[in-house]
Amino acid sequence: MPITGANTLLQTSENSGKLNKGRLQYSANMLRGRKLPPFFKLTLIVLCAYILWTFNHPGSGLRAGRYTRSADDYVGPIFREERSNDYVGHRSDRISNFRKVPDACSVPSRNVAFLKTHKTGSSTMSNIMLRFADTHNLTVGLPLKDHWELGGYPAYIDKRLIDPSLPKYNILGHHFRFNIEKLRDFMHDDTRYITIIRSPVDNVESVFGFFQDQLPFIDWLEGVEANTALRLNMFYDNPGKYYNKKTDWYFRAKNHMFFDIGYDVSNDDTAFIDSKIQEMDNTFTLVLLTDFFDESLIMMKHLLCWDWDDIIYIKFKMRTDDAKTEVNPDLAQKILNWNKADTRLYDYFNKTFWKKVDAYGKERMSDDLEVFEKKQKEAEDLCIDSYQPFKKKPWILGAKLRKKPSPFCRNLAASETVYGERLRDKMYSSITHLTEQQENERNDLFKKVAEGALQST
């Protein structure tokens, strides 16, 4: 809505409120001047009070009904302009008023948004999410065709860039940049939000290893051998020398997890960081820990009321041992100092996680781990022949299935891209496909939105 239109609507609301106050006063005078039955007087007073209340409470049912837009309006250009600034969370000082769904559940949660953070074991989690959606015939918000990331990443998640185009989704399970206000536009009210984080030292080492042939490292460390240990030590000897927010994908080099969760990675103010962590705690049902992955899945199973079969997994994208770098204590401290937000983030949710485990019961957790380990071993023996290196990234291993795998095994080993295509076909079997022109337009829009978020200017 144009600004002038918004002002007109506000003025209309004020005038309507004044008008109805006048009507209420007029009605009261009429009641004083006429002898009416007590019941009629009471009814009229309540009715007038309700009308006045609705005009002074814009979120009430009466007023909401007058200005509600259809789902299609959310992608219209006028509505986008109206909400392009504060509402979508671009202001770093914005604090969301959203509060998470209470932890307790009585039936399996079918509306779950998993924020897939980078280099945290999240590809395994994506398979779990997509497999659950497939098993229960749920709608899934998918990246556009030929894209890895969802909703215009690294920009905040954008509904226009989710496939298929639906009013609401049950499950999200891909990389996207988190923004609760935008998510509330297309996720159900009872959606449970979960994510996963990892020890910052291990996360940084993995980021440097996985993205060794990509920006920003090939720019900042140009000419330096693509050796993770060498590059880590060079960068962390003096990170300020290399760190440049005008370089595409700069955020991979500082507080990468904090970035995915939607916050300013360069703001090292402790109060700012802690306020965002508290906002997270008010939003997410569970923050899983890569370092305690099985315990995290057991807690997730409990909090979502899922079954064992829903959380069985095999590992995805494992690096070879010789591709991993041992980080000494001096380098580890430098990493923690530079990645202050991720460090405080992990410290906080590590503590809150174990408080949840204490409430769950340590002995109960120990017993569940034994059960889970057995089920995991059975699935791996049934499905996996070996782990083989990727052709283009030989330092990364993927699971190779046994001959003639069962549907269960094929689903268990499917990456988010493969599984995503299966689910795309499944959903499009009951809805209209986009035309080639519409797909091209959305791809152009994705490029524009995503590229606009690669740098900080």
| Domain boundaries defined on the chain | 3-68, 112-451
Taking the chain, what is the end-to-end CA distance rounded to the nearest angstrom?
A: 27
Please tell me the distance from the alpha carbon of residue 358 to that of residue 52, in angstroms, as a whole number: 50
Burial 43-76 (b: 16+ CB within 10 A, else e): ebeeebeeebebbeeeeeeebeeeeeeeeeebee
How many CB atoms are located within 10 Å of the residue 12 CB?
10
Find residue 142's DSSP bridge partners.
163
Per-residue pLDDT reduced to its tens digit, 7-42: 333 343 444 444 344 434 434 443 344 455 555 555
Average per-residue pLDDT for the chain = 83
Question: What pLDDT does residue 48 have?
Answer: 53
| pLDDT, mean of residues 33-60 | 49
| pLDDT, mean of residues 174-192 | 97
pTM above 0.85, yes or no: no
Query: For the domain with range 112-451, which CATH number is right: 2.70.98, 3.40.50, 1.10.530, 1.25.40?
Result: 3.40.50
CA distances, 204 to each of 106, 208, 295, 339 (Å): 38, 6, 23, 9
Please tell me the distance from the alpha carbon of residue 200 to that of residue 197, in angstroms, as a whole number: 8
Report for 85-99, 199-213, 337-351, 421-435: range of highest mean pLDDT: 337-351
Question: What pLDDT does residue 289 have?
Answer: 98
